[in-house]
Amino acid sequence: MGLFGYVKVCKAELRVREYEEYKAVYCTLCRVLGEEYGLAARGLLSYDACFYVLLQDCAQSGEAPEYKAGRCRFNPLKKCNYQTNCGESYRAAAALTVLMSYQKARDNVKDGKGFKRIAAQTVSPYLRGKYKKAKARYPQFAEAVEQAMAAQAALEKAECASADRAADPSAKALSEICGAGIADEVQKRVVERVAYCVGRFVYLLDAYDDLEEDLKSGCYNPFLRKYQIRDAAELQSAVLHENILRSLHMTANEAAVSFHLLTGEVHRGVLENILQDGLETACTAVRKKYKEVNESV
């Protein structure tokens, strides 16, 4: 379970007002990360964490966001809009970012190779202190992430050949985290289902993205086990890509359909863009890596 940057908007399909709204969420979360966990923590910022804020604020049906112009701490020449009435969702997203980043670093220390492992060993001591702080504030989040990582490790050790089972721990953890704190039971169930589908999509897309790298390194990948891929030539099978893309598209479609059951209006246009266009754009970007099968799938 980690932050991969797949869950973001498709800028070309967004209205200008919605894109400015999205950027404001990103910049506000960056500022909150710095305030809560130190300046360096801003480097952990991800689009996936922004999605959490957007979904939470929409589900909670709170007041409309209010913004104030400011300057970026990293680039003083850049003007940013910051939300002035941001609530708990931003602090929770900041904590979640730290929790998941630390667990991902630990995973890379254990299983990574080369530069990835060295980088993880370098940042892990810094993240450990921030992790303890985030865990103390949001113990339910930490427990969900830790359980997901443990379940994931067990499946990988068992060489699980089912992509559905392999994706389940991450999907369940995101579902639990996003549903926490939502009082309305109907809206809570909707958010949990959307989050489950998004978590599943991210895991499967990351596995698809890493097919070539994992084949070379011998690292676990559910698709390599499921389709018994043994060499690079087998990665060019049109059937392989058709099956993986079908699963990804079905998961993204279910997330988008489920979202329409949510009644909140805050950030609605941005969320619709992410679920209807953004996930498809991320999927297409990964697919283009496999140039020889593009025409077939």
Kindly state the tokens that stand for 1: 């379970």
Q: What DSSP string describes 165-216?
A: HHHHHHHHHHHHHHHTT---HHHHHHHHHHHHHHHHHHHHHHHHHTHHHHHH
Residue position matching structure tokens 């001591």: 125
- pLDDT for position 236: 86
- pLDDT for position 290: 79
- pLDDT for position 228: 93
- pLDDT for position 76: 78
Q: Could you say which residues of the chain have pLDDT below 70? A: 1-3, 111-113, 291-297
Q: How far apart are the first and last CA of the chain?
A: 28
How far apart (Å, rounded) are the C-alpha atoms in residues 201 and 183?
Answer: 26
- pLDDT for position 291: 66
> pLDDT tens digits, residue range 213-271?
999 989 899 999 999 999 988 888 889 999 999 999 999 999 999 999 999 999 999 99
DSSP assignment, residue 9? -
- pLDDT for position 292: 52
- pLDDT for position 179: 95
Q: What is the CA radius of gyration of the chain?
A: 19
- pLDDT for position 237: 87
Query: Is the separation of the CB atoms in 16 and 269 below 8 Å?
Result: no
The pTM score is 0.92
Residue position matching structure tokens 């680039």: 75
How far apart (Å, rounded) are the C-alpha atoms in residues 167 and 65?
Answer: 34
3-state secondary structure 118-165: HHHHHHHHHHHHHHHHHHHHCHHHHHHHHHHHHHHHHHHHCCCCCHHH
- Strand-pair partners of 81: 69
Residue 130's CB is within 10 A of a number of other CB atoms, namely 23
